[in-house]
Structure 1
Amino acid sequence: MNYRLLGRTGVRVSPLCMGTMTFGDSADEAESAKMFARCREVGINFFDCANGYAGGRSEIILGKLIADCRDEVVITSKSGFPQSDGVNDKGSSRRHLQLQVEKSLKRLNTDRIDVYFIHRFDPDTPIEAVVRTLDDLVQQGKILYPAISNWAAWQIMKALGVAAYQGLARAEVLQPMYSLVKRQAEVEILPLAQAEGLGVIPYSPLGGGLLTGKYTTTQKAEDGRLVQNKMYSIRYGDAYNYQVAEAFTQYAADKGYTPATLAVAWVMSNPAVTAAIVGARSVAQLESSLAALDVPMTPEWRAEISALSATPPPATDRSEEAK
C-alpha cells in the first residue's frame, strides 16, 4: 500500500477510504465487520463516518470494529444535517457541534475523532463562529483536525482566512462530491486544496452507482440508490449523465476492467486527491473498488477517460482561456 500524506497534517492514509454509511443500514453488523476486516487486510487505515449515518448505528458499529486497533486507524465523523425534528438539532452552532461531538465520541467509543467535518454549510451561523468552535474542540482534544464538506470554494477560503488571522486551528481536509459525471470540484475546490495544502477525500466516485455499468441510456436497474433514493435520482437524473455512463461502461469493457474499478481509479489519480471514499453493501461489492488500488493509471490514460465527459468551464467562465 502506498500511503499518502493527508494535506499538511503529517498523517499518512491509504489512497482508499472506506465509507461506512451502509454500516447498520444496507449492511448488517456481521457484513460490516467482514468489509472492515477485508479493508484492513489490504492495508486500508482510513474510515469515514457521520453522526447521521443509519441513525447513529454506523458510528456504533465502527466503534466496535476499531476497538482493538484504534491507534492504527484514522477515523472521521461529521455533523450539520438535521438529526431530529428538534428546532436546534441541526446546523453548525456552538451548541449543536459540541453536543454532536460528544454523542459521536460515545458511539464511536473513542476519546478523539481524528478528522471532524462540518457536513454542509450553515447559512445561519457565521463562518467565524464555526471556526472558533472547531478550534475549541481541538483545544479540548475531542477532535484533532477540523474539516469541511459540501462548502463552496469561497466559503472554504473565508474559513481558512479567519483561522489564519485569528491564529485558530484551520480546516485541513475537504470532502467534495467528485466523479466522472460530477466534476465541478475541478473548477475551484481542487485547485484551492493544492494551493493551500489541504487533504481531499471525495465521496461518490461511482456517481451514486451510475458508473457501475448497471445503467445505460435505455436501461435502468430495478433497484439501487438511483432508483430508490429521491436525492440521488435528482442529483444524477440528467440524461447527459447516463450518456457518459454508457460510454464509460463500454470504455471500461474495452480496457478489460469493471466500470466501478476504473471509476474509482480515475478519481484516485487526480493529483489533488488524497483518498477516494468507497462504500459497499457487501464484501463482494467492495472488491471492485479495492481493485482500483492495482490499476496502473497514467496521466495520459486519465486524460483519455476524462474526455468521455465534459470538462467544466473555468471559474471566470472564459472558456477561451482554458488550457
Structure 2
Amino acid sequence: MNYRTLGSTGIQVSPLCFGTMSFGAEADEETSAAMYRRVRDLGINFFDSANVYGGGASEEILGRLIANERDDVVITSKAFYPTSGDINAQGLSRRHIMQAAEASLKRLGTDRIDFYFVHAFDDSTPIEQTLRALDDLQRQGTILYPAVSNWAAWQIATALGLSARETLARFELIEPMYNLAKRQAEVEILPLAQAENMGVITYSPLGGGLLTGKYRAGQPPAAGRLVDNARYADRYGLESDRTTAERFTAFADDAGFSPVSLAVAWAMGHPGVTAPIVGARNPAQLEGSLAALGIDMTAELRAEISALSPTPAPATDRTETIVGNWT
C-alpha cells in the first residue's frame, strides 16, 4: 500500500478511504464486519462516517470494529443534519456541535475523532461561532482536526481567513463530491486545497452507480439507486450525465477495464485528491472499487478519460493569455 500524506497534518493514510454509510442500513453488522476486515487486510486505514448514517448505527458498528485497533486507524465523523425531532438537534451552532461530538464519541466508543466534519453549510449561524466551537473541541482533545464537507470554495476560503485572523484551528480536510460526471470541484475546491495544502477525500466516485456499467445506451436498468432514489435520479438527471456514462462504459470495455475500478482510479488520480471514498452494500460489490488500487492511472490515461465528459467552465471569464500592461 502506497500511503499518502494528508495535507499538512503529517498523517499517512491509504489512497482509498472506506465509507461506512451502508453500515446499519443496507449492510447488517456481520456484512459490515466482513467488509471492514477485507479493507483492513489490504492495508486501508482510513474510515469515513457521520452521525446520521444508519441513524447512528454506522458509528456504533464502526466503533465496535475498531475497538481493538483504534490507534491503527484514522476515522472521521460529521455534524449538521437533524438527529432527532428537537429543533436544535441540527445545524452548526455551538450548542449542536458540542452535543453532536459528545454523542458521536459515545457511539464510536473512542476518546477522540481524528477529523470532524461540518457536513453542510449553515447560513443561520455565523462561521466564526462554528469555527470557535471546533477550535474548543480540538483544544479539549475531542477532535484532532476540523474538516468541511459540501461547502463552496468561497465559504471554505472565508473560514480559512477567519481561522488565521482569530488564531483558531483551521479546516485541514475537505470532502466534496467528485466523479467523471460531476467535476465542479476541479474549478475552485481542488485548486484551493492544493494551494493551502489541505487534504481531500471525495465522495461518489461512481456517480451513485451511473459509472458502474449498469447504464448503457439503449439498456436502462430496471432497478438501482438512480432508478429507486429520487435524490440521486435528480442529481444525475441531465442528458449529459447519461452521455458521459455511455462514453465511459464503452471506453472501459474497449480498454479492458471494469468501469467501477476505472472510475475510482480516475478520481484517485487527481493530484489534489488524497483519497476517494469507496463503499458498498456487501463484500462482492466492494471488490470492483478495491481493484482500482491495481490500475496505473497515467497522465495520458487520465486525460483520455477526462475527455469523455464536459470540462467545467473556469472560475473566471478571462481565459486569454495576458500579455503586456493592458486590461
What range is the shorter-chain TM-score in? over 0.9
Does the residue aligned with 1:75 lie in a helix, a strand or coil? strand
Identity of aligned residues (%): 64
Q: Which residue of 1 aligns with 2:255?
A: 255
- After superposition, residues 141-290 of structure 1 pair within 5 angstroms as 141-290=141-290
For 1:50, the aligned partner's letter is A
Does the residue aligned with 2:114 lie in a helix, a strand or coil? strand
Which range is displaced more, 200-209 or 214-223? 214-223
CA RMSD of aligned residues (A): 1.2
For 1:200, the aligned partner's letter is V
For 1:287, the aligned partner's letter is E
For 1:175, the aligned partner's letter is E
Supply the distance in 2 between the matched residues of 1:279 and 1:319 (Cα, whole angstroms): 38
For 1:48, the aligned partner's letter is D
User: Offset of 1:313 from its aligned partner?
Assistant: 0.7
Q: Once the two structures are superposed, what CA deviation does each residue of 1:231-282 show, in whole Å capped at 9, x if it has no partner? A: 1111011111011001100101111111010000000000000001001011
Q: Which residue of 2 aligns with 1:117?
A: 117
CA contact 1:19–1:48 (8 Å) conserved in 2: yes
User: Offset of 1:319 from its aligned partner?
Assistant: 5.1
For 2:152, the aligned partner's letter is A
Supply the distance in 2 between the matched residues of 1:118 and 1:253 (Cα, whole angstroms): 39
Supply the distance in 1 between the matched residues of 2:317 and 2:202 (Cα, whole angstroms): 24
CA contact 1:23–1:29 (8 Å) conserved in 2: yes
Supply the distance in 2 between the matched residues of 1:25 and 1:163 (Cα, whole angstroms): 36
For 1:183, the aligned partner's letter is R
Supply the distance in 1 between the matched residues of 2:290 and 2:274 (Cα, whole angstroms): 16
User: Offset of 1:83 from its aligned partner?
Assistant: 1.8
Does the residue aligned with 1:201 lie in a helix, a strand or coil? strand
CA contact 1:16–1:44 (8 Å) conserved in 2: yes
Ranges in structure 2 where 5+ consecutive residues have no aligned partner: 322-327
Q: Which residue of 1 aligns with 2:130?
A: 130
Ranges in structure 1 where 5+ consecutive residues have no aligned partner: none
Does the residue aligned with 2:67 lie in a helix, a strand or coil? coil
Q: Which residue of 1 aligns with 2:95?
A: 95
Does 2:317 align with 1:317?
yes
CA contact 1:193–1:272 (8 Å) conserved in 2: yes
User: Offset of 1:217 from its aligned partner?
Assistant: 4.1
User: Offset of 1:218 from its aligned partner?
Assistant: 2.8
Q: Which residue of 2 aligns with 1:291?
A: 291
Does the residue aligned with 1:145 lie in a helix, a strand or coil? strand
For 1:295, the aligned partner's letter is I
Supply the distance in 2 between the matched residues of 1:254 and 1:22 (Cα, whole angstroms): 32
Supply the distance in 1 between the matched residues of 2:222 and 2:79 (Cα, whole angstroms): 32
For 2:234, the aligned partner's letter is I
Does the residue aligned with 2:116 lie in a helix, a strand or coil? strand
User: Offset of 1:320 from its aligned partner?
Assistant: 5.2
For 1:292, the aligned partner's letter is A
Supply the distance in 2 between the matched residues of 1:21 and 1:48 (Cα, whole angstroms): 8
For 1:55, the aligned partner's letter is G
Supply the distance in 1 between the matched residues of 2:103 and 2:292 (Cα, whole angstroms): 34
Q: Which residue of 1 aligns with 2:46?
A: 46
Q: Once the two structures are superposed, what CA deviation does each residue of 1:135-169 show, in whole Å capped at 9, x if it has no partner? A: 00001110001000000001000100111111111
Does the residue aligned with 2:219 lie in a helix, a strand or coil? coil
Q: Which residue of 1 aligns with 2:325?
A: none
Which range is displaced more, 235-244 or 266-275? 235-244
CA change 1:237–1:15 in 2 (3 A) is: same
Does 2:7 align with 1:23?
no
Supply the distance in 2 between the matched residues of 1:263 and 1:317 (Cα, whole angstroms): 30
Supply the distance in 2 between the matched residues of 1:67 and 1:221 (Cα, whole angstroms): 40
Supply the distance in 2 between the matched residues of 1:310 and 1:125 (Cα, whole angstroms): 36
Q: So what's the TM-score if we normalise by structure 2?
A: 0.97
Does the residue aligned with 2:54 lie in a helix, a strand or coil? helix
Supply the distance in 1 between the matched residues of 2:244 and 2:3 (Cα, whole angstroms): 31
User: Offset of 1:316 from its aligned partner?
Assistant: 1.1
Q: How many aligned positions are there?
A: 322
User: Offset of 1:84 from its aligned partner?
Assistant: 2.6
